[in-house]
Every structure is written in C-alpha cells, then in structure tokens.
Structure 1
Amino acid sequence: MNGSVTIVGAGIGGLTLALSLQARGVGVTVLERAGELREVGAAVALSANGLRFMDELGLLGELEEVSAQPTELIHRDWRDGRRVTAFPVGIDGSYRRRFGAPYLGIHRAEFQRVLACACPEGMIRLASEVVDVESGADGATVTLASGERVHGSVVVGADGVHSRVRSRVAPDARPVYTGTSAFRGIVDVADMPLLPDPGAIQFWMGPDAHVLHYAIGARAEAVNFFAVLEGPTPWPGGAGPTETDPGTLERAFAGWAPGVVQMLTAVPQSPHWPLYTLPPLSRWADGRIVLLGDAAHTMLPHHGQGANQSIEDAVVLADLLARPGALDGGHAGAFDRYQRLRRARTRQIQRSSLVTSDLLHLPEGPAATARDERLAGLDPWLGWIHGVDARADTRPVPA
C-alpha cells in the first residue's frame, strides 16, 4: 500500500492508531517528545466501547492480566457513606455480557507499555519534539527541534490537550479551564482499611466536590483516586499542574467519611491539576493534517471516556486511511468523513461530562435528593456510550 502516516504523540490514541494502521500494512512513524514512554497521570478506566477494539488488536487478554475489573458501580453520600446506588459490574459478569467486553482499571503506564510493545521496532521515535507542521500538495512535513524534517502522506496530531499540531488546524482554539481542579493518587488497599468496597468503582458525592476511585493491578491490590474540587478561579500559574500548600487536599475534604479521608491522606499530596474542556472545533483537519483524541475534543473525565474516545477516534480514522487511495490524494474525503462520524458523538459526551460535574457537586437539599432518586432509576452505564460500535460505518466488509 502506498503512503505513510506520521503520528505526533505516543499516548493511548496515537499508539492505537499506529497499531490499527500497521495491521493494514500502512507505514507509520510515531514521534514522541519524551525521552521515554511515560504517561502523565495515575490510572485509566477502560470501558467496553474501547476494549472491544483492543480485543480486535489481540491485546485484550494481556490487558486483563495487568488490570482489575470492578465488582460494582456505587454512588455514595459524602458524609455517612450510605449507598445511593449500587449496580453489579464484574461481580456477576453482567457488564461483559451486555457490552461484549469487560470494564477495567489499569495503570496508565501499563496500558502504554502493552501498546508500545505491540509496535514493531523502530516505529516509535522518542526524544522527537515537534516544533512545526506543514501541509503540502504531495504530503505533510513535521519539523523537529533537532532540525530534522519528517515527511509523510498525512500527519495526525495525537498530542493531547495542549496540542502543538492543533495550532496548525485551528489556530484560535484554546482549552478552557472549567473552574474545577483535581488531586490524584494510588493507594495500597492494605493502607486504607476504613474504605468500604475497595474493589468497586465508586463516586462519593458532596457539596462542591466529589471523589472517584477504582481498583487497579492484577490482584486489585491498589486503588486509584481522583478527587475533584470547585476552583480555584482563576487558575494560578501556567496551564499545567502546580504544587500547592501541603494539606490543601486534606482540608478540602475535612468532614467527609472516614474511609475517604484515610484514602486521600494515605499518600503524599499530588500536584494540583486544572481540569479543561475544549470548545467544539469547526474543523478537525486542514490540508493533510488531522487531529485525534484530546487534541480535538478535550473533555472532563467524569464519564471515564477520555482514553476510550481516543481509541474510538483511532480505529475509525485507521479504517478510513487504510482504504485504497486515501493516502494518495483521497485524504480530504477521509478526513471529512472521520470528522462527520466522530464530532457529534464526542460533543455529546463532552456536554454530558460537564453536566455530570455539576450534579456530583450539589449541596445537601432538595436538588441533591432529586438527583439521588434519578440515579437509582438511570441506566448506570449510559448504553449510548458503552454500547456503541464506533466502527459500525467504517469496518471493512469481510471478503
């Protein structure tokens, strides 16, 4: 097959795209600015709408070996810890039966390792910082900080929320601070005996804050937590995480259930992370340059869909770029269809995640009571997210 694809960013979306294209015989080069593969963040939740494609790539079994499957999905009250809702997940296999793949908690570094090890030697180029991208009539060229220029038929920007490639596609687009922020950490289960049901994925809901946690590791021996607060507004310092006063996290959750406090204080306080969203882009591509994942649709993590939507982007884009002629003058049609297939879905999840943030942070009172009643009657897995086959319109028909 003629043509090649240059991918900027060796994160989850970029590596999934690389593997999906490589399986079709498309030449791929992945450029990663870091000198070693090291995912930012603690862990990631992988849902069936992403893991079904990992199964197609032959990686699901390996991922299950280093992951934990939650027993239940539980929403709890912030102060007394009562169960507002509880739905089975892995405890009875109902999630997998419904959606065709498990729900897994995995350390980001483990997930990235599995993806990277599946890539052929030489495909991933580390210490390759991209400083410019140009689109031309016969291809796209990436300029590295070293001065080297890397040419391909198309360039895919999979370089995250603060994407450099996006500045070429949508120069005026900027991530927007949502007015919420987070601390994160990983705690051994043995170090927090007061936490109920450590093997479950749980949301603790409270005034102006919430905590999400789920088990990770092959034996569910640790728990990853994500503690979200309102503010500060405006965000102090630069665009990324900042160090803040020791004890900030502990003070923010004073008075919460003992198990939550024990978990949050069992490890040193992490950097303080601003949470961003990206206003919808009018276009995801320009010439021979196209965006993927957070570079195109940064979203709040409250549905656990950041990584999974990047995976969906990757497999759809791979289907379209692997078609005859797509890399030999047919890129515009491929990019247009990719955007039409992916934009509405990712916008819907972005909006829903924003609404969820507000609902999780309601003060005690009638509104919170009404929310709890609605949660008890909702589909806990939002079938419109987990049950969708992103490749339904692009998967090749078997010969």
Structure 2
Amino acid sequence: MSAEHPLIKSVGKPKVLIVGAGIAGLTLAILLEKAGVPYELFDRVTEIKPLGSALSLAANVIPLFKQIGIYDELISLGKTFHSIDQYNEDRKREYSMDFRAAANLGGFAPRIVSRSVFHNLLFRQVPSSKIFLGKQVLSIKQSLENGVQIQFSDKTIAEGDILVGADGAYSTVRQSLYESLKNEGQLPASDDGALPFSCICLVGQTKPMDPEMYPELTDPICHFKSVIGDNKPYSWGCMTAKGNIFCWSVIQYLDSESSKGHDSFQNSEWGPEAAIAMCQEVRDFPLPGGKNNDMTIGDLIDNTPLVTKVMLEEKVFDTWYSGRTVLIGDACHKVHPAGGAGAMNAIQDAVALANWISVLDSTEVNEMVDAFKEYKAERYPVIKAAFEHGRTLSTLAATDLKARIIRYLTKNMPTWLWNILVKRMLESRPQVSFLPLVEDKGTVPPIYQPSLQKTLAIRKAREAAEEEEPTTVKAL
C-alpha cells in the first residue's frame, strides 16, 4: 500500500482498490488473484466477527466455486436442503415449497451454510498481504488521467487505477461518488435520497447445541422452518446447519408510523446493542422443533453469542459507476432477504466485473468505463428481477389480506407451475472466462452470459493475433 500522496499513473494492467471485505469484495479479490490482476482489499473493521445467519447457495454460484477450487470444502461446510416448510404458531405445518428438483434442473443441489463459515472460507482464499483491516475511508480522490487515491483515518494512502465500492448498503464509496456527481449536476433524482426500508430483522447463529435435546440437528438434510405470526406483524424461522448449530432470524414488518420512528436509525454495521430490547419482545415466539416440539426463539437467543439487529433496506440504485469508480453488491442494490438471493447476487456481480477487468490491458479510463457499462448492462436486469422477487416473497411472510391470498395461491400451486418458477431461479449460472470452464450438468440450459462469451472472444482474438505476428528475425 503506497504511503506517498501524489497520484501516480500506472502502466499495464490496472491496479484495483476494493473497499469492503464482505462477500462481494472477497469474491472479487479471489477472482482478481486468479486472473493475475493487481489489487488491494480494505475494510473498516479491525477483526472479523461471526455475524448474520445463513446463506442459501445453489447452482447459480456453485459452478464458480468449482472453477476456483474450493467446491469440495464448500460442500463439506453446508447441508443440502429439500424444502422450506411453513408453520403456524401452533407448530403445525401448513405447506412446503419443494426444491428437490433443483439439483437436476441446475446440476447442483442447493445448500445452506452459515454466513460466518462461508465468509471465513472466502477470507482464507485471499493472501493476507493483500487484505488491510482497520481502514476507515476518510476521503477519495479520482482523476480521469492519473487514477484514484484513498485516504484512511490512520493517515495512510492507497493508490490505484480502479476503485470498487463493495462496502455495503451505506457505502462510503457510493456516498463519495454520488456527492461528486450531485455537485456536477449529474446524479439522477432516483439516487438522491435515503434508503427506504419496511422491516427490521433480528439474526443470529447459535453455538453448538445438544443433539439429544434437538434431534433434527443430526439430520444431514437441513431443516428449514418458517413461522408467520397470528395477528402480529412478525415472521420468524430457523435452519439447521453443520456443527449442530441453528441459524435463525425474526422479521418485524413496520407500518408507516413505526417506519417514521426509525428514520433516524442508520445501521452501517451489525452490532449487538440494538438487539437486546427486541430479543425480549420475541423470545416466546414458538418454533417447531426440539425433542418435545416445544422450541422457542428464546431457546436460540440464549445460545447465540452474537445477536444482531438490522434494517432491511430495499433499493436498486441507477448509478453503478462513473469514471474509475464502480459499485458491486449491496453498495448498488439492496434486495429483501426473503428472496434468499443477496449473497448470490453479490457473487454474480463479482463474476461479471472480474471478467471485464481481466481483459483490461491499459489504465485508460475510457476502456474502464466501457467495461463498467458492460458489467451493469448484464447485471442490472437480473437485479431488478431479484428485487421484485424478494418483494413478492416478503409479502408471502407478511400478515395482511394480500399476503394471505398469495400464501393460498402458493399452497395450492400446481407442481408444473412451481417447477417453472424454480427453473427461472436457476437459469443464471455464470462462470469466469480466465479459468477452465466447468461442465454444466443441469437439464435447464444456463442463460446467455455476456461477460463470459464476450471476454472469451476477446481472449481468442488476442491469441490468434499473437500467433499471426511474424517471428522476429534473428540477428545474423
């Protein structure tokens, strides 16, 4: 990391500065490492904590893990799940959403893995010499001619050619970029405003629990259970994960009045302080499970070392890049977690962006902007669809009349129609062009992936041009 202040123009492959070591930032770092692109990764935290609940990883991203060589370890860390089972407060199952066909349709069975375990797996793939923690961004300078420069709170400086904002919903990189664009009169009105939200979420993962008291923990198949409150604005659920742990969450649906009461709360990081009161409110909520089928959310809370409370923001920004700066993951789109696609979309963003960065062979800003334009063109329609899907599924777990109607339709949906929906969920299965491609074994063909096919064509054209170059005449 450079300690000098002047902006220095790079030559050759552009150097990438990634702000944010979450799933999006780590995935991009891993891919740039594989592609031989110089990069550095920064995060404001001083240590990595076991935050969050669990992630669903399916055929949309699993081929990528085969490409980068961590597939076997990923499989060992997760559990396959067959269905999402919906219960009422009497702990009686009302209906299930069956995902068993997904393994055949997409070529890989979907898996549930603890978020912290998955994050640790990614973190270990990045050389420690390229990750810098405790780096709070103070200011960002961008020059179309000379590069980008970040100043951190510890008075150090980082310099590079491309700046990637992977620093979450309250992205400092995005805020800096948008402030500059607004001052220039170039920020769309749609991007000039606070992040809207309609839910509060309490999440956690337990320490290892006694399988004699909770026999479902011994099942190699994940038990994915969800409960909708009776006449209360809450839904909650849990998943069994490897290591005899439960991953769980509670969602509170806000009305307009309570939303206003939370308008001043900006949650740029997950912390336990805000969670205590909500834990007391929800601890008696019933869950199906346990030896006597009398489990409650309180049983899980009492065995969870770190409970966190977050706002569930929902927004797809229109401005994803400008100049040498580009955004990925939650920094440019925040989708309701009911869709189960947050991590998947972050990973797929990294794939598309890495494909284009990998073929950049100069530090000219015009080439970068063209690459960023291609990246957004590929990902934006997918994200907009995921945004609507997440909203629909969040409605499924709500408590109003509209939600009841949607639940009725879901419960009585014909198998053939449900399978069509599952197919659509699995159509996007991107890979990177700079690693050997993984054979796709899904019965549903993957949709066209522009960044893969276009950068493969660029690589083939370059290889052909090199072969056609006349050999150097040896000096006599």
TM-score by length of 2: 0.74
- In the other structure, the counterpart of 1:349 is 386
Q: Distance in 2 between matches of 1:14 and 1:51?
A: 18
SS of residue paired to 2:81: coil
- In the other structure, the counterpart of 2:195 is 175
CA radius of gyration, larger in: 2
Summarize the Cα distance change of 1:126–1:249 in structure 2 as closer, same or farther, 3 Å threshold.
Answer: same
Summarize the Cα distance change of 1:319–1:130 in structure 2 as closer, same or farther, 3 Å threshold.
Answer: same
- In the other structure, the counterpart of 2:223 is 200
Q: Distance in 2 between matches of 1:70 and 1:281?
A: 32
8 Å contact kept, 2:61–2:429: no
1:41 aligns with 2:52: yes
Query: Of 108, 119, 127, which residue of structure 2 is paired with 1:120?
Result: 127
Query: Of 333, 350, 371, which residue of structure 2 is paired with 1:297?
Result: 333
More helix by share: 2
- Identity across matched positions, percent: 19
SS of residue paired to 2:228: strand
Summarize the Cα distance change of 1:87–1:280 in structure 2 as closer, same or farther, 3 Å threshold.
Answer: closer
Summarize the Cα distance change of 1:72–1:357 in structure 2 as closer, same or farther, 3 Å threshold.
Answer: closer
- In the other structure, the counterpart of 2:167 is 159
- In the other structure, the counterpart of 2:85 is 74
Q: Could you report, residue by residue, the CA deviation over 1:94-150 in whole angstroms, capped at 9, with x for unpaired residues?
A: 433321233222222221222122112311111111122221122111111112221
Q: Distance in 2 between matches of 1:190 and 1:61?
A: 26
Query: Of 15, 22, 27, which residue of structure 2 is paired with 1:4?
Result: 15
Task: Out of 24-33 and 383-392, give the one that drifted further.
Answer: 383-392
1:238 aligns with 2:265: yes
Specify the code of the residue in structure 2 equivalent to 1:190.
P
1:55 aligns with 2:66: yes
8 Å contact kept, 2:216–2:223: no
Query: Of 106, 112, 116, which residue of structure 1 is paired with 2:113?
Result: 106
Q: Could you report, residue by residue, the CA deviation over 1:166-223 in whole angstroms, capped at 9, with x for unpaired residues?
A: 1023343432221443344436362754879883223333443322322221x5x222
Specify the code of the residue in structure 2 equivalent to 1:211.
W
Alpha-carbon RMSD across the aligned residues, in angstroms, is 2.9
Q: Distance in 1 between matches of 2:118 and 2:413?
A: 34
SS of residue paired to 1:122: helix
* Paired positions, count: 391
Q: Distance in 2 between matches of 1:202 and 1:326?
A: 51
- In the other structure, the counterpart of 1:132 is 139
Specify the code of the residue in structure 2 equivalent to 1:285.
Y
Give the superposition deviation at 1:363.
5.2
Q: For residues 199-348 of structure 1, what are the structure 2 equivalents within 5 Å?
A: 199-207=222-230, 208-217=233-242, 221-231=244-254, 232-233=258-259, 234-235=261-262, 238-240=265-267, 242-245=274-277, 247-251=280-284, 253=285, 262-268=295-301, 271=307, 273-325=309-361, 327-329=363-365, 330-348=367-385
8 Å contact kept, 2:338–2:390: yes
SS of residue paired to 1:382: helix
Specify the code of the residue in structure 1 equivalent to 2:352.
V
- In the other structure, the counterpart of 1:145 is 153
Give the superposition deviation at 1:11.
1.0
8 Å contact kept, 1:157–1:289: yes
Q: Distance in 2 between matches of 1:43 and 1:389?
A: 21
Give the superposition deviation at 1:66.
1.7
Query: Of 344, 359, 369, which residue of structure 1 is paired with 2:396?
Result: 359
SS of residue paired to 2:164: strand
Q: Distance in 2 between matches of 1:298 and 1:168?
A: 18
TM-score by length of 1: 0.87
Give the superposition deviation at 1:12.
0.8
SS of residue paired to 2:16: strand
Q: Tell me, which stretches of 5 or more residues in structure 2 are unaligned? A: 1-11, 180-191, 432-448, 461-476
Q: Tell me, which stretches of 5 or more residues in structure 1 are unaligned? A: none
Q: Distance in 1 between matches of 2:364 and 2:225?
A: 48
SS of residue paired to 1:314: helix
